[in-house]
Structure 1
Amino acid sequence: MMLSKGRYRVRLAESADDLRAAQRLRWLAFIGKRGAADDGASVDADGFDAACRHVLIEDQRSGQLLATFRFMFLESGAEIGRSYAASHYDLERLRDFSGPMVEMGRFCLHPEHADPDLLRVAWGAMTRFVDENGIELLFGCSSFTGTDTQGYADTFALLKERHLAPRRWLPRVKAPKVFRFARALRRQKPDLKRAQAGLPPLLRSYLMMGGWVSDHAVVDDELGTLHVFTGLEIATIPAGRQKLLRGVAG
């Protein structure tokens, strides 16, 4: 087990049934909640699942799976072409990153159990893995519900103004359908209240730790989401935030 905290336990998937449970929850969270027909066995699965470890966050009393995510360990940026994110973004610049890295992906909560503590516990488990394995960069794709870019104009304007990746790591466009928000909103000043309200919880967590994003969002019609590449250099996380994370991980 990776972590036990309060009513939740965090563990790695150990069997085909565990993996299928994670894929089933992903389908419910990403596809089913959009009204797709469900035969009771629909799953979200792709070719990257076999290369990842899958994390299950369960209710300790009932055993119900309430949240999941997957992660892929890479020795350095030289391996970044293997990642899911590399299928959507040109990450050539990150090939020069010399330290160990982890891609986090497919994070989701059960649609009927959106407890914010689940995200906190997930970060605690990931913090333990980062510390034990000397990880220097976390990255992934942070998703927004829906594909309507106008509805997130203030949020994207905030990302453009305060949270763009350092130029040496900035991803280039690769996907066929993108919203180049840094260019489109270069003159727009964000309404901070609306901008914060539009931030997905996972992305908000990354940004609070000093994370950064791509200058464009990918429009994913298959999952019905927009997503931005998100990176977090472990060495730059503020000391106070590191202490909080390790408090959960301990």
Structure 2
Amino acid sequence: MKPLSKGRYRARLADTDQDLCDCQRLRWQCFLARTGEIDDGHGLDADALDADCQHMLVEDAASGRLVCTFRFLPLADGSQIARSYSAQHYDLAALGRFDGPMVEMGRFCIHPDHRDPDILRIAWAALTRHVDEAGVEMLFGCSSFVGCDPDTHAEAFAMLKDRHLAPRRWWPRVKAPRVFRFARVLRLRQPDPRRAMAAMPPLLRSYLAMGGWVSDHAVVDPALKTMHVFTGVEIRAIPPSRRRLLDAIAYRIA
């Protein structure tokens, strides 16, 4: 994928060891600094999957400062699903039958000092171009809620239970030792749509707008102090109006 620009920002793939290090440093600042770990200026968030992934950088074009990053793991089809980060936390045997190209998107983060909505827009533009160029048929990953208290997220979980559970043919099953089975626990709760969407993580809201679906349970991650749900988006099922918006963002920028 060629670099692309929108306003003051540029998106490009990492192509040096320093690029990857910069991504891992930003991930540490976003995911680990808030857990109370002391920052000595050199902390990195890194794992074995980094070597198999492509890494996207969104930079301030003038300064070169990294303001957003995410990675994606390409899979030929569902037979390779066990390679994914998500498969460490969910039983994805059903998705093993998926017969088209897949991409796992992960470690998405935006620098805490930067809140310009154009950052998220160019990130989605870059991802849309990658999906198109690679012929991807399913996008998936883990969508995180900050904090491990399920009551804090109950309104959002109730909305997911009511409207956005995975199709039975792709149903993610429990694998992790600590989970919150929100579809079962909140089966009688009726969500307030406005409050639920306000409580939904921004990245997950974007997935849902594309027709995305989630697992019926959230995995509790005490190390990162988050709860996350498995999230899938079948590219062919994206509503036409949303697809037109994504294409406009991806192909009508410099």
TM range (shorter): over 0.9
Q: Name 1:238's counterpart in structure 2.
A: 239
Q: Match for 1:66: what amino acid?
A: V
Percentage of matched positions with identical amino acids: 62
Q: CA separation in 2, counterparts of 1:221 and 1:2?
A: 37
Q: Name 2:66's counterpart in structure 1.
A: 65
Q: Deviations over 1:174-199 (max 9, x none)?
A: 00000000000000001222211110
5 Å-filtered alignment, 1:174-193, equals 174-193=175-194
User: 2:48 is paired with a residue of what secondary structure?
Assistant: coil
User: 1:187 is paired with a residue of what secondary structure?
Assistant: coil
Q: Name 1:144's counterpart in structure 2.
A: 145
Q: Name 2:128's counterpart in structure 1.
A: 127
Confirm whether residue 77 of structure 1 aligns to residue 78 of structure 2: yes
- 1:36 Cα shift? 2.2
More off after superposition, 97-106 vs 42-51: 42-51
Q: CA separation in 2, counterparts of 1:213 and 1:142?
A: 9
Q: Name 1:87's counterpart in structure 2.
A: 88
Q: CA separation in 2, counterparts of 1:17 and 1:222?
A: 26
Q: Deviations over 1:27-46 (max 9, x none)?
A: 11111133321000011111
Q: CA separation in 2, counterparts of 1:2 and 1:233?
A: 25
Q: Match for 2:187: what amino acid?
A: R
1:33–1:111 contact (8 Å) kept in structure 2: no
Q: Match for 1:116: what amino acid?
A: P
* Count of residue correspondences: 250
Q: CA separation in 2, counterparts of 1:200 and 1:242?
A: 21
2:137–2:234 contact (8 Å) kept in structure 1: yes
Q: Name 1:155's counterpart in structure 2.
A: 156
More off after superposition, 157-166 vs 128-137: 128-137
Normalization by structure 1: what TM-score?
0.98
Q: CA separation in 2, counterparts of 1:2 and 1:92?
A: 36
Q: CA separation in 2, counterparts of 1:30 and 1:157?
A: 26
- 1:170 Cα shift? 0.9
Confirm whether residue 103 of structure 1 aligns to residue 104 of structure 2: yes
Structure 1 spans left out of the alignment, 5+ residues = none
Q: CA separation in 1, counterparts of 2:116 and 2:181?
A: 32
Q: Name 2:56's counterpart in structure 1.
A: 55
Q: Name 1:20's counterpart in structure 2.
A: 21
Aligned-residue RMSD, C-alpha: 0.9
Q: CA separation in 1, counterparts of 2:212 and 2:157?
A: 15
Q: Match for 2:229: what amino acid?
A: V
Divergent runs of 4+, >3 A: none
Q: Match for 2:228: what amino acid?
A: H
Structure 2 spans left out of the alignment, 5+ residues = none
More off after superposition, 123-132 vs 27-36: 27-36
User: 2:204 is paired with a residue of what secondary structure?
Assistant: helix
More off after superposition, 212-221 vs 35-44: 35-44
- 1:245 Cα shift? 0.8
2:7–2:118 contact (8 Å) kept in structure 1: no
Q: Match for 1:148: what amino acid?
A: D
More off after superposition, 10-19 vs 113-122: 113-122
User: 1:4 is paired with a residue of what secondary structure?
Assistant: strand
